[in-house]
């Protein structure tokens, strides 16, 4: 092999499909690569032929120019692929295996990984704990919205599908195991969702829809999804969720009361993150809105799952505090109500095997819930534009035309 093609961030508002280097088992210098990671040998890794790779809402934060991502960064952290080359030190993963790649890069050797906190691996990112493919300030591991990609620590990280033919039949669902499905599920688990719970999900984008479906799988009695986008709310309603349109009526508690007969829920999940808007007509960006509103509508003693992304560097923020991730949060309210907050990257490996089994058994219908839409690699730039306009689709890139 001598070439590769990939989706590349070229500056605020722009991505392009470019010819890039074919991957090898060494992390080389390039846009965003931490100098301490340059030359890192990955004989414990594999090369994948990418079967599917998804566009994520967190990719959009970079493309909008709302992070410090460098031009030339190859995007993509939601990867499913076929192993076509294995490193010298790989023992259990074999050439030809079809695998899901957790978006967290983790070594399997450090204290965090041994305690199943693979979201904050201590060895893969010299800047801080935790890493991901094709993402700003994550060590510089090359993204997977491409034809081929290198994956380190293969024996530890990769989830092998037990039957390739069965997996390809359900690939639209299984491609969600790399991030969105475990992330939504982690949000629901962190919020304490259990049989009979009433749940509020802030945000009807793909992660919010995944969280809503996950709450249903966990036995929630009622799942309410709130958003400012009517098309995305219609998608939530399509698989049995109640919905509240916060662009029409900004009083969240009032709308929940109309559904439940009470203005509070047992559990709430923030699937919006730092680009949140205020509620009501004429709304504008107000990054603490969702965090404050879910404290208001969650009962005393309840829990808040926060898989929505928050950052320490936002050059496009509305004020100087927000540029460094300092938000005006009503922490006293959360304290008074004895709330539990769970934040941070999702430890994908904690959940992906059980969610795979839910998909293969037919129990989980995640592709339907998030409206999975398969596109070619060349269609990715246009898909980014449509996703940014709020279309209710989860775009799945099929770089080799392998998805039926």
- The DSSP secondary-structure symbol of 141 reads P
Highest CATH level, class, for 4-179+347-397: alpha beta
CATH number corresponding to 180-343: 3.40.50.720
Q: How many CB atoms lie within 10 A of CB 94?
A: 11
Residue spans in the chain of domains classed CATH 3.90.180.10: 4-179+347-397
3-state secondary structure 235-248: HHHCCCCEEEECCC
pLDDT, residue 2, reads 65
- Return the C-alpha torsion angle 341, 346, 347, 350, nearest 10: 80
Q: Are 248 and 274 in contact (CB under 8 A)?
A: no
Q: Which part of the chain has CATH 3.40.50.720?
A: 180-343
Q: What is the pLDDT of residue 359?
A: 98
Q: What does the alpha-carbon distance between residue 160 and residue 379 come to, in Å, rounded to a whole number?
A: 28
What does the pLDDT read at residue 242? 98
Chunked into runs of 10 residues, the chain (404 residues) has average pLDDT values of 89 96 96 95 98 96 93 98 98 98 98 97 96 95 98 98 97 98 98 98 97 98 97 98 95 97 98 92 90 97 96 90 93 97 96 98 97 98 96 98 91
| Confidence (pLDDT) at 312 | 87
pLDDT at 282: 83
Helix axes of 352-360 and 180-190: crossing angle, nearest 10 degrees = 110
With CA atoms as reference, report the closest residue to 387 among 375, 395, 399. 395
């Amino acid at each position: 092999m001598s070439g590769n093609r990939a989706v590349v961030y070229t500056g605020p508002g722009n991505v392009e499909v470019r010819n890039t280097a074919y991957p090898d088992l060494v992390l080389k210098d390039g846009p965003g690569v931490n100098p301490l990671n340059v030359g890192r040998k990955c004989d414990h890794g594999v090369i994948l032929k990418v079967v599917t790779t998804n566009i994520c809402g967190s990719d959009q934060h970079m493309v909008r120019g709302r992070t410090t991502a460098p031009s030339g960064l190859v995007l993509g952290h939601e990867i499913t692929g076929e192993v076509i080359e294995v490193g010298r030190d790989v023992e259990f993963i074999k050439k030809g295996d079809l695998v899901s790649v957790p978006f967290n890069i983790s070594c399997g050797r450090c204290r965090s990984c041994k305690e199943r906190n693979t979201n904050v691996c201590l060895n893969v990112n010299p800047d801080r704990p935790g890493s991901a493919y094709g993402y700003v300030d994550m060590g510089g591991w090359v993204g997977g919205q491409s034809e081929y990609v290198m994956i380190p620590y293969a024996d530890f990280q990769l989830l092998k599908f037990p039957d390739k033919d069965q997996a390809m039949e359900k690939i639209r669902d299984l491609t969600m195991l790399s991030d969105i499905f475990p992330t939504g599920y982690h949000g629901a688990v962190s919020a304490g969702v259990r049989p009979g719970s009433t749940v509020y999900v802030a945000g009807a984008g793909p992660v919010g829809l995944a969280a809503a479906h996950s709450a249903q799988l966990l036995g929630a009695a009622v799942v309410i999804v709130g958003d400012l986008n009517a098309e995305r709310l219609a998608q939530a309603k399509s698989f049995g969720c109640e919905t509240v349109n916060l662009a029409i009526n900004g009083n969240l508690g009032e709308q929940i009361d109309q559904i439940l007969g009470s203005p509070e829920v047992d559990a709430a999940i923030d699937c919006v993150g730092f680009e949140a808007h205020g509620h009501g007509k004429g709304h504008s960006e107000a990054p603490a809105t969702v965090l404050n509103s879910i404290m208001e509508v969650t009962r005393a003693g309840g829990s808040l799952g926060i898989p929505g992304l928050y950052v320490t560097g936002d050059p496009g923020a509305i004020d100087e505090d927000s540029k460094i991730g300092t938000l005006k949060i009503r922490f006293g309210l959360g304290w008074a109500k004895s709330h539990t907050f769970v934040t941070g990257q999702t430890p994908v490996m904690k959940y992906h095997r059980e969610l795979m089994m839910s998909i293969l058994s037919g129990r989980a219908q995640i592709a339907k819930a998030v409206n999975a839409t398969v596109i070619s690699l060349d269609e990715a730039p246009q898909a980014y534009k449509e996703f940014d306009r709020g279309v209710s689709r989860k775009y799945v890139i099929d770089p080799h035309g392998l998805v039926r």
